[in-house]
């Protein structure tokens, strides 16, 4: 073999090595693309998972707000119920007018609280029934009222009364004589 032939062997060897390196780089490039695709898919999946987690967190916040609103509503209803029960248990005045006999009616306190400083507001065309100025009607107490028609004036059909704690007049129907 001559010297030029050995140089050709090195060139062929370098050529083969370059060809191998080219094949390896092609393979690495394909693996890199596959890896990059997998990375993109993983990033997309992570982004989707993050969006799903955000929706779930938003749902949890809405659920917590709804639970808080429901609890507040329950507390308000319980408070209103307690207030109504306390109001129902509170002693009250309950005045009624009942016909007794002749020209006498009875003003009766059927309530559970005393009626203090009872005042008759109804105007009469004749002398009004006599009532003490600071009349107190305890529960179950009766105050007789004498009313007679005189000189063409009739007995009123309604009496208006007020008492301590009841500034708005209460209208009581005068029952007819039996």
Residue 91: predicted pLDDT = 92
User: Same structural domain for residues 78 and 9?
Assistant: yes
Place of tokens 């002749």: 102
On the question of pLDDT at 3 being above 70, the answer is no
Q: What is the chain's length?
A: 178
Asked whether residue 124 is domain-assigned, the answer is yes
Residue 120: predicted pLDDT = 93
When pLDDT is cut at 50, 70 and 90, the band that residue 2 belongs to is: low
Higher-pLDDT residue of 167, 11: 167
d(CA 53, CA 51): 5
Longest alpha-carbon distance in the chain? 166
* Host domain of residue 72: 1-89
Residue 152: predicted pLDDT = 75
User: Same structural domain for residues 72 and 140?
Assistant: no
Residues 151-162 have a mean pLDDT of 88
User: Same structural domain for residues 41 and 119?
Assistant: no
Give the other-Cβ count within 10 Å of 93's Cβ.
21
On the question of pLDDT at 141 being above 60, the answer is yes
User: Same structural domain for residues 73 and 35?
Assistant: yes
Give the other-Cβ count within 10 Å of 157's Cβ.
11
119 - beta bridge partners?
A: 162
Residues 119-134 have a mean pLDDT of 84
User: Same structural domain for residues 41 and 103?
Assistant: no
d(CA 57, CA 80): 34
On the question of pLDDT at 158 being above 80, the answer is yes
Top mean pLDDT of 12-21, 47-56, 99-108, 129-138 is at 99-108
Summarised one tens digit per residue, pLDDT across range 65-98 is 888 999 899 999 999 999 998 888 889 999 999 9
What SS3 class is residue 129? coil
Asked whether residue 178 is domain-assigned, the answer is no
On the question of pLDDT at 123 being above 90, the answer is no
């Amino acid at each position: 073999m001559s010297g030029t032939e050995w140089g050709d062997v090195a060139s062929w060897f370098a050529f083969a090595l370059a060809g191998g390196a080219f094949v390896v780089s092609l393979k690495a490039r394909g693996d890199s693309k596959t890896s990059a695709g997998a990375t993109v898919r993983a990033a997309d999946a992570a982004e989707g998972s993050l969006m799903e987690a955000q929706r779930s967190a938003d749902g949890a916040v809405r659920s917590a707000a709804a639970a808080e609103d429901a609890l507040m509503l329950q507390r308000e209803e319980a408070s209103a119920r307690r207030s109504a029960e306390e109001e129902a248990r509170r002693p009250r005045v309950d005045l009624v007018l009942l016909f007794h006999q002749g020209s006498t009616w009875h003003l009766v306190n059927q309530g559970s609280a005393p009626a203090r400083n009872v005042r008759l507001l109804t105007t009469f065309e004749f002398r009004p029934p006599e009532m003490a100025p600071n009349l107190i009607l305890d529960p179950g107490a009766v105050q007789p009222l004498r009313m007679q028609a005189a000189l063409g004036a009739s007995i009123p059909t309604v009496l208006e009364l007020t008492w301590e704690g009841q500034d708005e007049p209460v209208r009581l129907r005068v029952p007819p004589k039996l």
